[in-house]
Structure 1
Amino acid sequence: MTEQPLPLGAVRATGPRLGSARQLSERVAAYLREAIMVGELPASEFVRMEHVAARLGVSATPVREALMILQGEGAVRWEPRRGFRVVPLSRRDVDDLFAVQAHVAGELAARAAAALAAGEVARLRAVQDELTAAADLGELDRVAELNHELHRSINRAANSPRLAAMLNLFVHYVPRAYYGQVAGWAEATTDDHVPVLAALAAADPSAARTAMAEHIRHIGRLLTTHLERTGALPASDPPDSRPTSGRRGD
């Protein structure tokens, strides 16, 4: 794979194309979100804002604003006179993320199955054929691009913009830029889409819901295994050590 000095690819400040200051802060937050998820910013360590700013080619202001966004999400916490510390990621966090994503994506696929015209299904099959060819050639960037196009088309076909917007909130936490490094990802992307497309072609909402939800859960399992292998995620979470009063229901 080609070197990726910036996991999100294009976060550098390159002039007016970056858009508003708010958009820049959100893009920096996306970079930090992924860096935390994959362990580039280790759990319990403090985030060095000046290092992040230098790496991304931005000022300290959007970095601080991005960290405030992540604090609201529970990914970091502010400690007075010390800075922002990364909150440890647990397997439950990852499981919860993909469980909710699977449910919402499955529902969108079910609605798309009832709405897609035959011509659009044929177009999606053509996208999938191109995706499979790219996977066979090891062109993982192209696989990611086509995978995004296929899922985006299905979500749009559901004609449920608010539900699709909710899905996007959860997708923000998924480190898509790293999927090419996840063992089995390309194969899952090609193989898992087959039953999804078959259900869409058959206009079968129930089958589409089941196939899409299982696809998302499968990707979640692959990512969890990858994060455990790289040390970004504990192999198993420790038991709940919170003190209890000994009274039921407390």
Structure 2
Amino acid sequence: MTDATIRRRRPQLSDEVVTYLRDQIMSGELRPGVFVRLDEVAATLGVSITPVREALLTLRGEDMVELEPRRGYRVAPLSRQDIVDVFELQGHVAGQLVARAAASITAEQLADLRTHQEGLRAASSAEEVEDREFEFHRTLNRIADARKLSWFLHTALRYTPVSFYSSDPGWRASMLTAHDDVLDALEAGDAERATAEMARHFTDGAERLLTHLDAQNFWASE
């Protein structure tokens, strides 16, 4: 188990609540305009009201919830175009990072990435998929050696409902294929192909989320 995995599995309570609420909002379980019930969230997660309040302050700063005086926090508007925009941004930044990696990656670094990929392929639970996918991209971004780009990607990825994807067998299969294609492009030193494959990885994520939200008639709330 890596240090990064330990840190991800032992977050602060408020961070845990933030992750839960982000997933609920971005997967359509909490719809725009709905008020977040602090007591219900606290009971669901087995925490006190305090970390829920702290989490909502964080989410307000991310434009995921809005504070209505004397009424509380409600989910901020979220449109189809918002989803498209977020994933296009993620794909663009991730594509720039993988292009940087393609220009400098060593045989040892590529072998390390393939080891992470095999660990991901063998993952047996949604939680393990989340941890190992995080570690794969974290390793790739370190190879790119673009600190600020990596920070921007990390920030943009906050809008990704991680548990929605990790629990979807179809996404898991698609993700593994995308990683394999990226690795092959890196091995060939083909930055253009690596960038295109990474962009497709994020496009697939957007399409799956939009299909899910369409099935929920989510846009009726716009």
Q: Same fold (TM over 0.5)?
A: yes
Aligned to 2:3: none
SS at match of 1:43: coil
Alignment partner, residue 212 of structure 2: 226
After TM superposition, the structure 1 = structure 2 runs for residues 100-249 of structure 1, keeping only pairs within 5 Å, are 100-134=89-123, 139-182=125-168, 184-231=170-217, 233-234=218-219
* Aligned partner of 1:84 among 32, 50, 73: 73
Please identify which structure carries the higher helix content: 2
Q: Structure 1 residue 183: deviation in Å? A: 5.9
Equivalent position amino acid for 1:198 in 2: D
Q: 1:167 to 1:191 in 2, by over 3 A?
A: same
Give 1 or 2 for the bigger CA radius of gyration. 1
Aligned residue among 63, 73, 82 for 1:74: 63
1:106 Cα deviation from its structure 2 partner:
0.4
Cα 1:74/1:139, change in 2 over 3 Å: closer
Question: Deviation of residue 177 (structure 1)?
Answer: 1.5
Change (3 A) 1:67 1:150: same
- Of all paired residues, the percent bearing the same amino acid is 45
Report the AA paired with residue 90 of structure 2: Q
Cα deviations by residue, 1:191-216 (Å, 9 ceiling, x for unpaired): 11222111111222222212111211
1:15-30 pair list within 5 angstroms: 23-30=12-19
Higher relative contact order (CA 8 A, sep 6+): 2
| TM-score normalised by L of structure 2 | 0.85
Note if contact 2:109-2:143 (Cα within 8 Å) is conserved in structure 1: no
CA RMSD, Structure 1 to Structure 2 (Å): 2.4
Unaligned runs of 5+ residues in structure 1 are 1-8, 11-16, 239-250
Deviation at 1:174, TM superposition (A): 0.6
Q: 1:79 to 1:167 in 2, by over 3 A?
A: same
CA contact (8 A) 1:183 1:222 kept: no
Distance across 2 between alignment mates of 1:150 and 1:122: 12
For residues 139 and 57 of structure 1, do their structure 2 counterparts lie closer, same or farther at Cα, with a shift above 3 Å needed?
closer
> What is the count of residue pairs matched by the alignment?
215
Alpha-carbon distance in 1 for matches of 2:116, 2:66: 42
Give the superposition deviation at 1:98: 0.4
Shift in alpha-carbon separation, 1:77–1:143, aligned structure 2, 3 A: closer
Cα 1:212/1:28, change in 2 over 3 Å: same
How many angstroms apart in 2 are the aligned matches of 1:164 and 1:144?
Answer: 18
- Letter paired with 2:86: L
Letter in 2 for 1:83: G
